[in-house]
Structure 1
Amino acid sequence: MAEIDLSKVLDKAWADKSLPEILAAPVSALKGVSDRQGELLEEAFRVKTVADLADLKFARWAQALAALDAAK
């Protein structure tokens, strides 16, 4: 089972929310992502929510490439 310290990855306002609420939250709920950056992600990739970002194929491809590199 995967675990994560939500206070390290979420803006304070979101740290006590449920997982479904977090996944439906705007990407600006992630620590370090501004409202403007969220707007740019939406314009460029149609990413509106944390779930959308997690499902972004380009992010998954990059993660897969990084995992391949780490495995060598």
Structure 2
Amino acid sequence: MASIDLDKVLDKAWADKSVPEVLAAPVSALKGVSDRQGDLLKEAFGIKTVADLAELKYVGWAQALAALDAAK
């Protein structure tokens, strides 16, 4: 089972929300992601929500490459 400290990854306005609410939130709900950066993600990749970002194939590819590198 995965766990995460939501206070460390979410903007203060989203820290008390449920996981489904956060997944439906704009990517700017993530700590350190500005509204402008969210707009750029939408323009470049069609990313509107945190869930969209999590499902982006390029994120998965990058994570797999990093895991391969860490395993050597």
Q: Distance in 1 between matches of 2:12 and 2:28?
A: 11
TM-score, normalised to structure 1, is 0.99
Q: 1:44: how far off?
A: 0.0
Q: Distance in 1 between matches of 2:3 and 2:15?
A: 14
Q: Distance in 1 between matches of 2:43 and 2:53?
A: 13
What whole-Å deviation, never above 9, does each CA across 1:38-72 have from its counterpart, x for those lacking one? 00000000000000000000011000000000011
- Determine the structure 2 residue equivalent to 1:5: 5
Q: Distance in 2 between matches of 1:28 and 1:43?
A: 14
Q: Aligned to 1:8, what secondary structure does the other structure show?
A: helix
How many percent of aligned residue pairs carry the same amino acid?
A: 83
* Structure 1 unmatched runs, 5+: none
TM-score, normalised to structure 2, is 0.99
- Determine the structure 2 residue equivalent to 1:29: 29
- Determine the structure 1 residue equivalent to 2:18: 18
Q: 1:36: how far off?
A: 0.1
The one-letter code of the counterpart of 2:28 is S
Deviant stretches of 4+, over 4 Å? none
The one-letter code of the counterpart of 2:58 is F
The one-letter code of the counterpart of 1:62 is A
Q: Distance in 1 between matches of 2:18 and 2:33?
A: 20
Q: CA RMSD in A?
A: 0.4
